Homo-oligomer: A and B are copies of this chain.
Amino acid sequence: MSAPALLEQLIEALRVLPGVGRKTAQRMAFHLLERQREGGVRLAQLLERAMAEIGQCRQCRNFSELEVCALCAASQRDDRQICVVESPADLAAMETATGYRGRYFVLHGRLSPIDGLGPKELGFDLLAKRLDDQAVEELIIATNPTVEGEATAHFLGQLARERGVRPSRLAHGVPLGGELEHVDRGTLAHAFGGRTELSS
């Protein structure tokens, strides 16, 4: 037979999306063709533009089509705090959940020599320059509480201290709404060791 039908090619292409297998891809293709042609065209155009135009902000390395992203450009945010996260998704989660009004820095990964991710790939030089040049007082290290995330946090802590900047780390402990019985041992030990006084 000749080249596979266009529909078949579209179904295969949709599988590039995370968590989308053959069956879901088929359902998506049929849905768009049957009911959402305009939405499909709009998605195609935005995908094409986004893949071509979205790069990293020169200052915080977050995704942006601008040289300096909206968060870095916003004058009402506090320059004295920088929160370091592993990914743009983590940044989005911080923005949604917390009332944080400082700046950000996105690593796009964590220290992981096995994956070829060293200080250079994570933009440590760019972060160091920001700490040197700007009046930063606190570096909030919000890497994930994994082995590699902790190693990265340790490294970042040193980087901050060397420049007279106070490093801080997200609190670890029992998650809200969690039951002690189901919390893993490491977290429970950490929460116990870091217990705080009950305010009256």
Q: A5-B65, A26-B89, A26-B92 are in contact. Are A18 and B47 (CB under 8 A)?
A: no
CB atoms of A88 and B30 under 8 A apart: yes
Q: How far is the CB of A122 from chain B (nearest CB, A)?
A: 14
Among B16, B32, B41, B53, the residue within 8 A (CB) of A6 is B53
Interface pick from A7-15, A135-143, A172-180: A7-15
Q: How far is the CA of A18 from the CA of B88 in the complex (A)?
A: 24
Q: Does A147 contact B (CB under 8 A)?
A: no
Q: Does A29 contact B (CB under 8 A)?
A: yes
Q: Does A27 contact B (CB under 8 A)?
A: yes
Q: Interface size of A by Cβ–Cβ distance < 8 Å?
A: 51
Nearest residue, chain B, Cβ from A55: B33
Q: How many copies does the complex hold?
A: 2
Q: How far is the CB of A43 from chain B (nearest CB, A)?
A: 4
Nearest residue, chain B, Cβ from A26: B92
Q: A5-B70, A50-B10 are in contact. Are A43 and B31 (CB under 8 A)?
A: no
Q: Does A114 contact B (CB under 8 A)?
A: no
Nearest residue, chain B, Cβ from A62: B7
Among B14, B42, B64, the residue within 8 A (CB) of A7 is B64
Q: How far is the CB of A188 from chain B (nearest CB, A)?
A: 29
CB atoms of A63 and B16 under 8 A apart: no
Q: How far is the CA of A17 from the CA of B43 in the complex (A)?
A: 9
CB atoms of A48 and B41 under 8 A apart: yes
Write the residues of chain A forming the contact surface with B, with a CB cutoff of 8 angstroms: 1, 5-7, 9-10, 13-14, 16-19, 24, 26-34, 36-37, 39-54, 63-66, 69-70, 87-89, 92, 108
